[in-house]
Structure 1
């Protein structure tokens, strides 16, 4: 009789452990997806590409929040702090597409400054690239990303990937994606459209 009680007790303990582990895993994934924007310190990011291994990539940037969200197949796979254009060099807002990609690139406008993992957003010198992210707008108009995040983002995008840059604060991934989807057919200005032969 005692032996049977111990045997059943072990199975109950194993089952409880499995149930708790599963619940913790689900809670952890949920917390990562819906984490508020203020949880990341300048230069920090979260990258979870396994949440959506394939599909179209959409990128949303909030200048007011200094944040970027990356979605694949509508699922959040990355969140990062950014540093956009400072006063007098404000980053443009609206709908963009990635026009050009270069792992090694230097600025044609600003003293040959390095722009690693450059992904061009327009033909006037604005791009995503790796660089210093101090927690406030500090660039000449580009959207700087933490270096490791810039490399990871470079690896999942293609020419023509959708980008939406908003000037207002966005407080959750869901809000960011909804805003981008509402503007998915917004017109792009002539400086944003892909230009043949432009360098």
Structure 2
């Protein structure tokens, strides 16, 4: 069995990252794909469930996991912890399942260092105006909060060049197609093909 690939995907809030991943999972794909489920200490929101959206744990439990080096990466955001389970990722990859990890550029930097064979994708909006419009259409934040989100978005977008791939989300169907193309291309690269077809290659080259 060939090992799965860890894909990191990052984007500013409002770029359509979550919708894109959900859209990808609904399409036919040649490979098994699983979205990583993070651990968090924040309170469960209406409509969320443990083990589906997040693994909801206490701060005490989270700190114990930090000491046990159970996380590939973790961060503290607005007084709550968020972390990616090392065990979950390794289990999926060893089972031949590709894992999509939805994290910011700082978390992505940690993952790339710890998992050198991971591949990273950055998603950009077609323009600042479109990004602003998407944030407004959510109807979740005040103008002041949206302005802060826009400032943060610019800061995040400045890190796009640190990634392996770049997708402009100006057409949803095309963006999903681009994402699928990246997955296929990575599975066909020499590193993964050699591992997958090691016996065949040895037989073909045996004199």
Structure 1 length as normaliser, TM-score? 0.24
Q: Which has the higher helix share?
A: 2
Using the size of structure 2 for normalisation, the TM-score is 0.24
